[in-house]
């Protein structure tokens, strides 16, 4: 595009896409508080119970000032991959970290920056709570995860 288009690619604007995005943002804004109110107690339950139930677990990040749907842990002596595979076999899904680093085989630079030891960072597990996550899902995870960790540490 020319100067009249601020050097953006010349084309017709995607009006339908723009209107659709505006509506999606409107819906998200309307539901933001109710989503937060549903997700925060579930996240807090994970942050409280996982370190109580499993030895050698570190909560990564601040326990209060964090996203309402995000709980991030490091498990001493375990690899993220083994945790993820074991959870997957139970029909439970988590991640090693952010989507942009989920396939990386080295410690997260973010975890390193907040002072997490490299060996602990290699056992990172991010649990994200979604719109349809229920108390029952969390309870199922809290039952399964200690057994998984115990079997992997043998």
Active site residues: 100
- Which secondary-structure segment (H or E) carries 70? strand 70-75
Enter the DSSP assignment of 4.
Answer: G
Give one DSSP letter per residue of 20-41, joined into a string: HHHHHHHHHHHHHHHHHHHHHH
Look up tokens 């499993």; give the residue. Answer: 54
Alpha helices in 54-117 (DSSP H): 80-89, 109-113
């Amino acid at each position: 595009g020319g100067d009249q288009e601020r050097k953006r690619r010349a084309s017709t604007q995607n009006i339908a896409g723009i209107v659709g995005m505006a509506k999606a943002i409107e819906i998200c804004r309307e539901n933001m508080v109710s989503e937060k109110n549903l997700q925060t107690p579930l996240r807090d339950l994970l942050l409280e119970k996982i370190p109580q139930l499993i030895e050698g677990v570190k909560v990564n990040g601040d326990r209060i000032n964090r996203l309402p749907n995000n709980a991030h842990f490091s498990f001493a002596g375990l690899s993220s991959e083994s945790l993820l595979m074991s959870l997957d076999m139970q029909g439970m899904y988590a991640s090693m970290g952010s989507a942009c680093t989920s396939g990386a085989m080295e410690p997260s630079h973010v975890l390193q920056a907040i002072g997490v030891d490299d060996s602990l960072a290699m056992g990172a597990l991010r649990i994200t709570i979604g719109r349809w996550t229920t108390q029952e899902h969390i309870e199922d995870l809290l039952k399964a995860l200690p057994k998984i960790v115990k079997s992997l540490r043998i």
